[in-house]
Amino acid sequence: MDLNTLGWDPFFAQHFKPFQDQHLAPARVACQHRDLYLVCGEAGELTAEVPGKWRHEACSRADFPAVGDWTAVKPREPGKATIHGLLPRKSRFARKVAGGRERHQGGDTDEQIIAANIDTLFLVNGLDGDFNLRRLERYLIMAWDSGASPVVVLNKTDQCPEIEERVAQVEEVALGVPVHPISALEQKGLEALSPYLGAGKTVAVVGSSGVGKSTLINSLLGEEKLQVNAVRQGDSRGRHTTTHRELLFLPNGGLIVDTPGMRELQVWADEEDLSGGFEDVEELAAQCRFGDCQHQREPGCAVRRAVARGALDPGRLRSYLKLKREIENLTRRQEHKARLAERAHQKNGRKKREKKTPIEEL
């Protein structure tokens, strides 16, 4: 398999140099199941494992290879390899999971990588009853956070009499992000997606259930590879071998990452992403009289003023405030748990040292 077809580029070549000296070969992860990987490289497909040493040294689950990652492998017996290195990621989708490997190391939440090195993320929305701008905003924030470039795909044009209005509405929310109306079912408008699907380019498809992700992927693959409407997590759990690929090759040379994790992707964001997706609201908030204005009933609130003037959509403000609240709650939860872990650590690890008064008791 040609490395460039697999998405290899100067960025990865640069970071591979130290591994080259160790006579390792580059290979991209096409599927992961627990400790077992399917990787693709110049030698074709190999079943690969990370050595036990890796497991001891990893601080976080994010240190393990995930679908889309480039690794440095040493081929063993025919068809098998050991993974010795992981190249830096150009983009990453992660899931927060409870508990780090070592509680005292990383506090409470850990990150698990769902997919890596995706160039373009198709955010699929249905133009039927499912159409939801607020949800789209949250997906956009998540996309920006990942490092992949978002592209909005409005599917089911065949079900929608007011396509142009919808596109205009989305463009207003998606500030500068390309918006493409298509019908995956009728295979209309798909040519607009081809610039993102060239040789060696990697895309992933996200969106809520029923928007037509499987139908779109099938159309792009030109075959019925995925069962439309099927819930796919069932077919990968409890399986002990990597029999299917989650990095799929498109006929024109592009690659699609389709994993159960990507499909279930939780829209999650932290404070930094919030401003990334709501620059207009944040700009207004900077003009509020009080620095800690909650934009509720405070005097001199520039955000409320903008809503009253009709310059800011009240729905957009609502979703901003909702997301902000969720983030604050999550942050508080994490801080609380981190404090608990810290206290446990103090009890166990520092027993012999001089007794310190815990902060809570001061």
From the list Zn ion, ligand GDP, none, which binds 183 (C-beta under 5 to 8 Å, kind-based)?
Answer: ligand GDP
Other beta carbons less than 10 A from residue 189's beta carbon: 17
Contact call for residues 64 and 270 (beta carbons, < 8 A): no
From the list Zn ion, ligand GDP, none, which binds 293 (C-beta under 5 to 8 Å, kind-based)?
Answer: Zn ion
From the list ligand GDP, Zn ion, none, which binds 159 (C-beta under 5 to 8 Å, kind-based)?
Answer: ligand GDP
Q: Closest distance between ligand GDP and the C-beta of residue 96, in Å? A: 23
d(CA 81, CA 78): 8
Q: Cβ-count burial of 327 within 10 angstroms (0-12 exposed, 13-18 middle, 19+ buried)? A: middle
- Cβ distance to ligand GDP smaller for residue 119 or 258: 258
Per-residue binding string, Zn ion, 297-336, x by CB under 5 A, is ----x-x---------------------------------
How many whole angstroms from its chain centre is CA 277? 15
Beta strands 149-155; 179-181: pairing state? parallel
Q: Closest distance between Zn ion and the C-beta of residue 185, in Å? A: 45
Hey, which residues does 37 pair with through a beta bridge? 32, 48
Q: Closest distance between ligand GDP and the C-beta of residue 33, in Å? A: 21
Q: Which residues form the interface with ligand GDP (CB under 6 A)?
A: 155-156, 158-159, 183-185, 207, 209-215, 228-229
For Zn ion, which stretch binds (CB under 5 A), given 166-174, 198-206, 280-288, 322-330?
Answer: 280-288
From the list Zn ion, ligand GDP, none, which binds 338 (C-beta under 5 to 8 Å, kind-based)?
Answer: none
From the list ligand GDP, Zn ion, none, which binds 184 (C-beta under 5 to 8 Å, kind-based)?
Answer: ligand GDP
* Tokens coding 272: 């930094």
From the list ligand GDP, Zn ion, none, which binds 155 (C-beta under 5 to 8 Å, kind-based)?
Answer: ligand GDP
d(CA 58, CA 36): 16
- Cβ distance to ligand GDP smaller for residue 86 or 247: 247
Q: How far is CA 179 from CA 115, 146, 192, 308, in A?
A: 23, 19, 10, 29
Token look-up 């002990």 returns 240
From the list ligand GDP, Zn ion, none, which binds 288 (C-beta under 5 to 8 Å, kind-based)?
Answer: Zn ion
Nearest by Cα to 139 from 154, 159, 129: 154
Q: What DSSP string runs through 250-285?
A: PTTS-EEE--HHHHT------HHHHHHH-HHHHHHH
- Cβ distance to Zn ion smaller for residue 97 or 286: 286
- Cβ distance to ligand GDP smaller for residue 9 or 158: 158
Nearest by Cα to 181 from 206, 195, 196, 160: 160
From the list ligand GDP, Zn ion, none, which binds 229 (C-beta under 5 to 8 Å, kind-based)?
Answer: ligand GDP
Q: Closest distance between Zn ion and the C-beta of residue 243, in Å? A: 55
Asked if 288 touches Zn ion (CB under 5 A), the answer is yes
Which regions of 34-79 does DSSP assign to beta strands (E)? 36-41, 44-49, 70-75
- Cβ distance to Zn ion smaller for residue 205 or 317: 317
- Cβ distance to ligand GDP smaller for residue 215 or 319: 215
* Tokens coding 182: 């298509």
Q: Closest distance between ligand GDP and the C-beta of residue 351, in Å? A: 54
From the list Zn ion, ligand GDP, none, which binds 301 (C-beta under 5 to 8 Å, kind-based)?
Answer: Zn ion
d(CA 241, CA 295): 53
Asked if 293 touches Zn ion (CB under 5 A), the answer is yes
Beta strands 120-126; 80-86: pairing state? unpaired
Instruction: Please count the residues of this chain forming the interface with Zn ion, following the rule CB under 5 A.
Output: 5
- Cβ distance to ligand GDP smaller for residue 71 or 155: 155
